[in-house]
Each structure stands twice: as C-alpha cells, then as structure tokens.
Amino acid sequence: MPSHVLETSKRTPLYLTVAVLQLFVVEFLVAGTWRGHYSYSANFISDLGVPFCGTDGNAPCSKTSLLMDASFVVTGLAYMVAAVLWHRIERVLPPAPVVFLVVAGIGGVVVGLAPSNTHWELHSLGATLFLIFGSLFTLTTALTVWPRISGPATYLALALGVLGLVGYFCFTYSWDLGLGVGGIERVAAYSAILGFVVCVHLVTQLPSVRHSAVVRVGDSAGA
C-alpha cells in the first residue's frame, strides 16, 4: 500500500473529530454576527442557519447563516463517512450502531439543506433524526465496546448517550429545566456530537481496527 494511503488511514480519526468539532467554532462565530442579541439559552441552534432577515430586513438573523448551514452538512457527512469506514472493517461494530450513525448523518445534512424558516417540517425531521439516532449511536457503541474496552472513555460515552436522549425528550416536551429552550436543545445536540468524538476514539482502540492497521503496515512494508 502506498505510504500516503497508510498515513491517511492513520489520520482518519483526527479528520473525523475536526469535521464535527468545527460546528462549535462556526456556531460561536455566526452567533457573534447575529443581528440582534443571540442567546444560547433562549434561541435555537437552527436560528443561526436562517438566511431571511424579515420583510424589512431588520429581523434578527445573520448574513453568515450559510456558514452554519454548511457546518450542519459537514457534520452529517462526517457521520456517514465514519459509518462507511467502520462498516468496511470486519466486525468493528454490529449493524445497529452503524445504521444509527447513517440515519443521524442524514439528519444532519437535512438540517443544513432545509433551513427552519422555509422548510420547517423537513428541518424538524432532520433535527429529530440527528438528535435521537446520534445519541443511540453513542449509547449502543459504548455498550458494544464495553466488554473489550472498559475505562473512562467508555463510561463517558454511556453518559453522553443517556444525557443526549434525556435532553432530547426534555426538549420535545418543553421541559427546559431552567436552561431555556436553546439550552436544553444544546444538551441533546452537544451530547450527540461529543459522544461521536468519544466513540471515534473508542472504535480506533478495538482489536479488529488495530489489527487491520497492523496488516496495512505489513502490506506496505512488503510492497
């Protein structure tokens, strides 16, 4: 195998991590350019992706909304790329978490392509898929690796999976727990995203993945 291919495979976890964590950076930057006072507690994350500033052009919004929408899409694509990569490695994960990850990724892409002000039903569906199945992926992946990898990262993934689901249902039933609608939505969304990052670390520690890397190294050396 060519050395650049091997190097790319070794860096894949880093690429996946950066591809999802960029959302936090973009969110902060777009919130800072919002016309009006944007509140992490009172405003939805999706508000940052709304390109329409009202009929008179003075309603709260951001001219950088396209960055937020693109960030949603990139995050969703990262989920789907990870699912494809992990599915190609024999027995790295059972079908359930891989399917959950694909569905969550599709949801993330839909959120970015369908802004909440123009395609609310589709946007809401995408957000629901991302939040529910993103947390289900984290939870099922943590349970899958638990017998083989027992440590702080596994327990953190379990906690994030549960917290994400609890946050989603609290958000759905308007139980903001004093955090505001934006705050409780972020409990669900941030848990799903951070859970993915932790699971990237866990999956790379699985024996089948490490063995596959050793085989690639051997093949490269033999070539």
Alpha carbon distance 166, 215 (integer Å): 41
pLDDT attached to residue 58: 60
Tokens standing for residue 53? 């500033």
Q: What confidence score (pLDDT) does residue 30 get? A: 93
Spatial contact of 135 and 168, defined as CB atoms under 8 Å apart: yes
* Structure confidence at residue 217 (pLDDT): 41
Q: What is residue 42's predicted lDDT score, i.e. its pLDDT? A: 92
Could you give the C-alpha distances from 206 to 82, 99, 125, 144, 210, in angstroms and in order?
A: 15, 19, 33, 10, 6
Q: Are 115 and 49 in contact (CB under 8 A)?
A: yes
Q: What is the pLDDT of residue 4?
A: 42
Q: pLDDT digit string (tens) for 90-128? A: 568 899 999 999 999 999 999 999 988 888 999 999 999
* Regions in the chain scoring below 50 on pLDDT: 1-8, 213-223
| Partners of residue 61 on adjacent β-strands | 35
Q: Which stretches of the chain are DSSP H helices? A: 3-32, 65-88, 95-113, 120-145, 152-172, 180-204, 207-222
pTM recorded for the entire structure: 0.86
